[in-house]
């Protein structure tokens, strides 16, 4: 397949390296020192994920250096079979002008992002169809440039880190969940999704086809909602959070609030807080993305993860006091470090 990864950090770099290792034609849209290093020395990928990930199937290490075409602007490349959007959700608007030419009539747009995606209420049908959240897409620019009919929903259950310019480490996990976003996709698009899922699986990912990608998004989202700000506030790795019972009580409170908001959207999370915590434990000693961003002095994904849920809670008249407290504290922490605070 011919594919482009926009943003080659921990997640995007992992996708790019594994697909390139399996022989696919991969290009990158990336900027700054990361771009300069990839152009000079290639993308250095370190596969730290367990060889036993996925149970019965064993995966060979894909550690290596991958010489990939890399540009700061997608206009250097033509239309792709698939475009993975792996920048932070709140940075998507800034890359729109540079990725338009990557997307042709048959291109699959795969947002490998945290938080509630901009397309969530487009193509959903029913009473929430077209609901526009200010935390996600205040003027509709994302929905206009990246229509739901082109989108393949993606939920990422792996952890990766950027270890300096040009070097990406996958620290845990291989699982990707894919599903159509508009629920009325044509037969050709379904066939393209099947082809993409097969290619990802052959490249070493554990791929699940979801009949209800919005539910899977919420299962991931409530985890991000609870664990991400707490990790950034405490400095804890995932295993440290899961070993601290007093912190887990805060996590459980936020998980319950997130599940209550989801329930009002007709989403049944279908698990207890402790069952959701058990999923998080599978990431071992991973450093959560919001902690990585805070320590690196990058802007934090507060709006698409926490702000969007708070906005929905207000719209639905649901009280979320623990979530509001975490939101206030992480914004304050960002301000003290001089980071953008959404």
Q: What is the pLDDT of residues 315-333, one digit of tens each?
A: 999 999 999 999 999 999 9
Which DSSP string do the residues of 78-141 spell out, in sequence order? Answer: ---SEEEE-S-GGGHHHHHHHHGGG--TTPEEEE--SSS-TTTTSS--GGGTT---TTT-TTSH
Closest CA to 172 of 59, 49, 51: 49
How confident is the model at residue 189, as a pLDDT?
86
Task: State the catalytic residue, choosing from 2, 58, 88, 220.
Answer: 220
User: How does residue 184 score in pLDDT terms, banded at 50, 70 and 90?
Assistant: low
Q: What is the pLDDT of residues 71-94, one digit of tens each?
A: 999 999 999 999 999 999 889 999
User: How does residue 52 score in pLDDT terms, banded at 50, 70 and 90?
Assistant: very low
State yes or no: pLDDT of 308 exceeds 60: yes
Q: Which residue has the tokens 């070993």?
A: 243
Q: What is the pLDDT of residues 102-116, one digit of tens each?
A: 999 999 999 999 999
213-234 helix and 273-281 helix, angle to the nearest 10 degrees: 70
How confident is the model at residue 28, as a pLDDT?
98
How confident is the model at residue 54, as a pLDDT?
47
Question: How would you classify residue 23: left for phi > 0, otherwise alpha for psi between -120 and 50, otherwise beta?
Answer: left
Which CATH number is 2-211 given? Answer: 3.40.50.720
* β-strand partners of 45: 64, 168
239 backbone dihedrals φ, ψ, rounded to 5°: -65, -30
Instruction: Quote the CA–CA distance of 138 and 136 in Å, as a whole number.
Output: 6
Query: Where exactly are the structural domains of the chain?
Result: 2-211, 215-336
- Domain spanning 215-336: CATH 1.50.10.10: no
Q: What is the pLDDT of residues 248-293, one digit of tens each?
A: 999 999 999 999 999 999 999 999 999 999 999 988 888 999 999 9
State yes or no: pLDDT of 125 exceeds 90: no
CA distances in angstroms from 332 to 232, 262, 339, listed in the order given:
12, 27, 10
Q: Which residue has the tokens 């899961």?
A: 242
Residue 220 bears catalytic tag = yes
Instruction: Kindly state the helix (H) or strand (E) to which residue 2 belongs, with its residue range.
Output: strand 2-6
Q: Are strands 64-66 and 43-47 parallel, antiparallel or unpaired?
A: antiparallel
State yes or no: pLDDT of 175 exceeds 50: yes
Provide the token pair at 52.
């036993």
Instruction: Quote the CA–CA distance of 273 and 270 in Å, as a whole number.
Output: 10
């Amino acid at each position: 397949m011919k594919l482009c990864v926009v943003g080659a950090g921990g997640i995007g770099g992992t996708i790019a390296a594994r697909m390139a290792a399996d022989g696919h034609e991969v290009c990158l849209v990336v900027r700054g020192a990361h771009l300069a290093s990839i152009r000079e020395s290639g993308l250095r990928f370190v596969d730290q994920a367990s060889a036993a990930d996925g149970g019965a199937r064993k995966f060979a290490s894909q550690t290596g250096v991958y010489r990939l075409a890399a540009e700061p602007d997608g206009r250097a490349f033509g239309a792709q079979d698939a475009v993975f959007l792996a920048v932070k959700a709140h940075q998507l608007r800034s890359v729109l002008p540079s990725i338009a030419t990557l997307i042709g009539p048959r291109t699959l747009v795969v947002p490998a992002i945290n938080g509630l995606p901009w397309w969530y209420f487009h193509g959903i049908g029913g009473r929430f169809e077209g609901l526009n959240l200010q935390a996600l897409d205040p003027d509709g620019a994302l929905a206009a440039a990246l229509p739901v009919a082109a989108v393949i929903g993606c939920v990422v259950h792996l952890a990766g880190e950027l270890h300096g310019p040009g070097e990406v480490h996958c620290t845990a996990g291989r699982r990707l969940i894919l599903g159509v976003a508009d629920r009325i996709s044509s037969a050709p698009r379904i066939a393209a999704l099947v082809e993409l899922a097969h290619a990802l699986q052959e490249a070493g990912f554990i791929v699940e086809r979801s009949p209800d990608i919005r539910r899977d998004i919420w299962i991931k989202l409530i985890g991000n909602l609870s664990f991400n700000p707490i990790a950034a506030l405490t400095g804890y790795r995932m295993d440290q959070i899961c070993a601290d019972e007093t912190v887990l009580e805060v996590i459980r409170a936020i998980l319950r609030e997130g599940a209550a908001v989801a329930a009002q959207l007709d989403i049944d999370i279908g698990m207890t807080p402790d069952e959701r915590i058990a999923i998080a434990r599978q990431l071992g000693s991973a450093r959560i993305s919001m902690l990585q961003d805070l320590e690196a002095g990058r802007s934090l994904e507060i709006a698409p993860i926490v702000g969007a849920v708070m906005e929905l809670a207000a719209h639905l008249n649901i009280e979320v006091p623990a979530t509001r407290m975490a939101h206030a504290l992480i914004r304050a922490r960002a301000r003290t470090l001089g980071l953008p605070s959404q």
